[in-house]
Amino acid sequence: WRKGTTKDIEEKLFTVVSHTDAHGQTRKWSVADTLVDLPLATTKKTGEVFNIRQISRIVGTTGGGTRQIHILTTDRDLSAGELVYRMGNRWRQENQFRYARMHFELDSHDSYSSSDDNEDRMVPNPAKAKAYQKVVAARNAHAEAAAIAETNLMALKSPAEGSKELLVTVTSAMHNQAMAPLWEAENTLIAAEKAHKKIPAKLRLGELNPGQQVLDTETKMIHTGIRMAAYNTAMTIAREIRTNTGYRRANQEAHALMRQMFNQTGDIDTTEPGHLTITLDPLPTTAKTVAAAELCAHLTSTKTRYPGTSLILKYAIKTKPPALIN
């Protein structure tokens, strides 16, 4: 993303582009595909620039207005739609993990049984990081002191305002007084760097945290594998609701409908030879029941075999019985 204040692109340059992802879902955006001259940070004085492709979009703001955002890329072959889609992948990935933590408890403890950690294992020394922060602070103080010392020396060498003297005498005492803050900052920096260098980067775990325990990883890995399999299944079902049903609110409610179907009661029928039939009870609304029926028909058409058996999975949903009239 291009940061900082940038001149807006003329609205007449914006056109509608689209991209169809690997799952067959098509998205559209209004973008301006242009080439811009990007000033190089290290050569601002020379005016040197780098010609680069810029993809601009108009997005809404919280106050009800709009603003432009810009994507910079050196790739001049990909379509504008695919570039916008790829830039959005980061947010989709973050949202996926946030959703998985909320609904699949990825960060939960599955077992509290533990064992002794390896006390000979080398771990980062926290004192090293603290010492480095002191070095950074000393470097910043040294840079500030150097700037102040330079200003003070310039003041000593410059004649006083209104003076007719062209030459100014600077004594050693005056020079030492102007340079004293810099020398003090330099000594502090040298001491901080020496102290940082003496501290080992790593320590034995037994020296840093003796008696540390670790949770058993086998149970956690098994449960995490199950959760990830369930998560992948849920994401697949939500995608199928969006792409293979006529549910009008699929883009907003696909995940909610998927969770509702997973929690729905139903029947398991093994009486039909060669098939395992899963029949859900009807959902609360006709629209959701119809969408579930379309999804069931699509999943059945894949002829998926139940693992470990020769049975083909079939899916269906019961229709609501007609209302009784007294």
Query: Using a CB cutoff of 8 Å and minimum separation of 24, what contacts does 268-276 make?
Result: 270/311, 272/314, 274/310, 274/311, 274/312, 275/311, 275/312, 275/313, 275/314, 276/306, 276/309, 276/311, 276/312, 276/313, 276/314
In a shared domain, residues 298 and 236: yes
Asked whether residue 117 is domain-assigned, the answer is: no
Whether residue 325 is predicted with pLDDT greater than 70 in this model: the reply is no
Domain that holds residue 271: 219-317
Asked if 194 contacts 134 with a C-beta cutoff of 8 angstroms, the reply is no
Asked whether residue 191 is domain-assigned, the answer is: yes
Task: List Cα–Cα distances, 50 to 37, 41, 87, 88, in angstroms.
Answer: 5, 10, 21, 25
Q: Each residue of 30-85: pLDDT tens digit? A: 999 999 988 876 555 567 888 999 999 988 888 888 889 999 999 999 999 999 99
In a shared domain, residues 15 and 93: yes
Mean pLDDT (whole number) for 276-296 = 93
Asked whether residue 121 is domain-assigned, the answer is: no
Mode of pairing for the β-strands spanning 114-116 and 26-39:
unpaired
pLDDT of residue 44: 54
Task: List Cα–Cα distances, 234 to 145, 167, 237, 296, in angstroms.
Answer: 60, 83, 5, 14
Q: Each residue of 5-15: pLDDT tens digit? A: 888 899 899 99
Asked whether residue 48 is domain-assigned, the answer is: yes
Q: Exposure of 95 by Cβ count < 10 A (0-12 exposed, 13-18 middle, 19+ buried)?
A: exposed
CA neighbor of 14 nearest in space, from 70, 61, 52? 70
Q: Each residue of 174-232: pLDDT tens digit? A: 888 888 889 999 999 999 999 999 999 999 999 988 888 887 777 878 888 888 888 88
Q: What is the rounded distance in angstroms from the CA atom of residue 300 to the CA atom of residue 137?
A: 66
Asked whether residue 206 is domain-assigned, the answer is: no
pLDDT of residue 16: 93
Asked whether residue 72 is domain-assigned, the answer is: yes
In a shared domain, residues 95 and 138: no
In the chain, the number of structural domains is 3
pLDDT of residue 162: 60
In a shared domain, residues 240 and 307: yes
Q: Each residue of 79-119: pLDDT tens digit? A: 999 999 988 877 777 887 888 888 887 777 777 777 888 88
pLDDT of residue 117: 85
Asked whether residue 113 is domain-assigned, the answer is: no
Across the chain, mean pLDDT equals 86
pLDDT of residue 326: 44
Instruction: Decide: helix, strand or coil at residue 36.
Output: strand
Domain boundary among 196, 229, 245: 196
Mean pLDDT (whole number) for 124-136 = 94
pLDDT of residue 324: 44
Whether residue 120 is predicted with pLDDT greater than 60 in this model: the reply is yes
In a shared domain, residues 85 and 148: no
Asked whether residue 202 is domain-assigned, the answer is: no
In a shared domain, residues 311 and 229: yes
| Percent of all residues in the chain with a pLDDT value above 90, rounded to a whole number | 48
pLDDT of residue 99: 81
In a shared domain, residues 100 and 132: no
Confidence of residue 3 (pLDDT cuts 50, 70, 90): confident
In a shared domain, residues 17 and 77: yes
> Six-digit token pair at 1?
């993303």
In a shared domain, residues 158 and 192: yes
pLDDT of residue 124: 93
What phi and psi values does residue 34 have, to the nearest 5 degrees? Answer: -130, 170
What is the CB-side half-sphere exposure of residue 295 using CA atoms within 13 A?
25
In a shared domain, residues 190 and 252: no
Q: What is the DSSP letter of 263?
A: T
Domain boundary among 104, 136, 158: 104
In a shared domain, residues 135 and 181: yes
In a shared domain, residues 236 and 154: no
Mean pLDDT (whole number) for 148-171 = 74
